[in-house]
Amino acid sequence: MPSTINEYFQLMPFLIIGIGIILSVVIEISSKSSKEILPWFSIILFFATALYSITNISEHAVLFGGMVEVGGKPAIFNFIFNLGAMLVVMSSIGYLKKYGTYFGEYYILIQSSVLGMMVMAGSKDILMIFLGLELMSICFYVLAGINRNKLGANEAAMKYFLLGSFTTGFIVYGIALIYGTTGTTSIQNLIDNFGEYSSNIIFVTGLILFLIGFSFKIAAVPFHMWVPDVYQGSATTVTGLMSTTGKTAAFSVLIIMLTSIFTLNSANIFKPYFSAIAVLSMFFGSIVAISQNNLKRMLAYSSISHAGYMAVGLAAANSYSISGIIFYLAAYAFMNIGAFSVISIIEGENDSRTDINVYAGLNSKNPVLAAFMALFMFALAGIPPMAGFFGKYYVFVGAIESNLTWLAILGVISSMISVYFYLRVIVFMYFKDAEENFEIEVAPYSLSSVVISGVLVLMFGLFPDMLLRLITAVVSL
């Protein structure tokens, strides 16, 4: 089928970001004041794309001979990616200034990684997925080590790169096996003939390798080893980006790949796999996070356990649980970016002041920051009426609907455990007196990132229908 000019118009979100990247490079090269321009340019770019995506959700179409999907689910994902990246850029302005380092590449890399995520979420072809994944991952490897003078950042980048390449190996090998047995990389073709292919052991092996690769990317146990060090070592704002939008992108692939496959009866083979990684991730993350004193590391383990809750939804695999995961991802993105923005504000030079005891008495030093941090912690713990609760609720509804009540029970038990370490942050902020005196410099943009995240977390909590209605409308597409 020849592509028409119309199809290019429908690619609008990709085009906005893509042209934006090129313009950013030009600005960076040619303008002396790129330091001031680039962040604002990125914010506008992300906001425009987010707005465009969310308003064009109903324009669902598959373009270029079944390669790319626009509107529908990808539009929701694009909304999360771009809004998340916008908030991260906002909190980066003050953070980079504090570090005393400025790299124009920083913003360009963020833009490119977002483009990679968008490609992942919008692909209808395994090769496209791989393309997007690599674009995102390579940007992340560089971003993790953007501060090249820091030992921790170097370690994080190296570790991330090595384990990430290893993962890529799994995925490519999986793709090769899939293509080798079926002769196609089109997801639609795979689904249509899934019954026939699934009897082939090599095809199934390929699919499992593919799944394992993405289990790395969503940070699920037992593929989580890179997470704590990378999250702790990277610049805080970058961690905020990786842990939220990066996870969302990986989940978007799993959702796109599996929702259609799961509707087939022969696909029950994945249920034990996802149930297992769900249980392992939930409990491992929650239990290990208890003993963490570094807040970034604690949130890294919490990110592992959140991956577990979302994997419950993958195991349940019905329309409730899939909409649940998408809502959960949105909620998680904003509460986590909010929390990391607060951390980036408190953080001092040389990665100092990321330990929990620094937060002692924060309420008397800066009540606004403390209140927002408390909001994010309660939201992450899944206490209503914050957004995090509805994500969990919806995923558990899906699980019980699919007769996985035991998984839901294990999920709530893990939530009980996790309440402790989230609450611990609040205990330090509100119930203890300050141990050390230091000035908290609150950059206005960072604060606005915190406030916007907080408002979104509350809004999605009090009126979840705004987002849920959009999601449930497109989830079956």
Partner 1 sequence: MEQNLLLTYLLFAPIVGSVLVLFFNKEQVKLVRWFGLIVSLIAFVISLIIYFMFDQANPQFQFVNKFLWISSINVSYHIGVDGISLLLVLLTTFLTPLTLLSTWKAIEKNVKMFTFSMLFLEAGMIGVFISLDIFLFYIFWEAMLIPMCFIIGIWGGERRIYASIKFFIYTMVGSLLMLVAIIWLAVYASNMTGSFTTNLLDLYKVGASIPNQIQGWMFGAFFLSFAIKIPLFPLHTWLPDAHVEAPTAGSVILAGVLLKMGTYGIVRYCLPLFPQSAVEFAPVISVLAVIGIIYGALVSMVQTDMKKLVAYSSVSHLGFVVLGTFAMTVESVQGAVIQMVNHGLSTGALFLLVGVVYERTHRRDIAYYGGIAKIVPFYSFALLFASLSSVGLPGLNGFVGEFLILLGSFKSQVLNNWWFTIFAATGVIFAAVYLLWMYQRVAFGVVKNHELADHLSDLNTREMIVLAPIFVLIVWIGIYPSTFLKLTEASTQLILQQVSTYTVNLLK
User: Binding residues for partner 1, per CB under 8 A?
Assistant: 323, 363, 367, 378, 383-385, 389, 393-394, 396-397, 400-401, 405, 408-409, 412-413, 415-416, 419-420, 423, 426-427, 430-432, 464-465, 468-469, 471-472
Cβ 308 to partner 1, closest distance in Å? 15
323: how many CB neighbours lie within 10 A of its CB? 27
- Determine the Cα–Cα distance for residues 94 and 369; give it in Å rounded to an integer: 15
**Closest by CA position to 292, among listed 128, 452, 443, 424:** 424
CB of 378 to partner 1, least distance (A): 6
Dmax over CA atoms of the chain, in Å, equals 68
DSSP helix/strand/coil, 63: strand
Q: Of the two residues 223 and 421, which places its CB atom closer to partner 1 in the complex?
A: 421
Whole-angstrom Cα distance, residue 416 to residue 282?
11
The nearest distance, CB 416 to partner 1, in angstroms, is 5
Burial environment of residue 56 by CB neighbours within 10 A (0 to 12, 13 to 18, 19 or more): middle
Provide the minimum distance between the beta carbon of 412 and partner 1 in the complex, in angstroms, as a whole number.
Answer: 4
Q: Give me the DSSP letters along 376-441.
A: HHHHHHT-TTSHHHHHHHHHHHHHHHTT-HHHHHHHHHHHHHHHHHHHHHHIIIIIS--SS-----
Chain Cα centroid distance, residue 210? 19
Nearer to partner 1, 172 or 419 (CB): 419
Smallest distance from partner 1 to CB 361, Å = 11
How many C-beta atoms surround the C-beta of residue 146 within 10 A? 20
Q: Which is nearer to partner 1, 345 or 408 (CB)?
A: 408
For residues 118 and 429, which CB has a smaller minimum distance to partner 1 in the complex? 429
Pick the closer one to partner 1 by CB: 348 or 385: 385
**Minimum separation from the CB atom of position 255 to partner 1 (A):** 17
Q: Which is nearer to partner 1, 246 or 338 (CB)?
A: 338
Query: Nearest approach, Cβ of 387 to partner 1 (angstroms)?
Result: 12
Q: 373 to each of 227, 268, 335, how far by Cα in Å?
A: 22, 41, 9
Residues 132, 113: Cα–Cα separation, whole Å: 9
DSSP string, 261-298: HHTSGGGGGHHHHHHHHHHHHHHHHHHHHHT--BHHHH
Q: What tokens does 159 get?
A: 């570790």
Q: In whole angstroms, give the CA distance from residue 338 to residue 201.
A: 45
Least CB distance from residue 20 to partner 1, whole Å? 34
Indicate the residue among 288 and 471 with the shorter CB distance to partner 1. Answer: 471
Least Å distance, CB 325 to partner 1, is 14
- Closer of 86 and 426 to partner 1 (Cβ): 426
Nearer Cβ to partner 1, position 126 or 377? 377
**Nearest Cα to Cα of residue 332 among 285, 271, 366:** 285
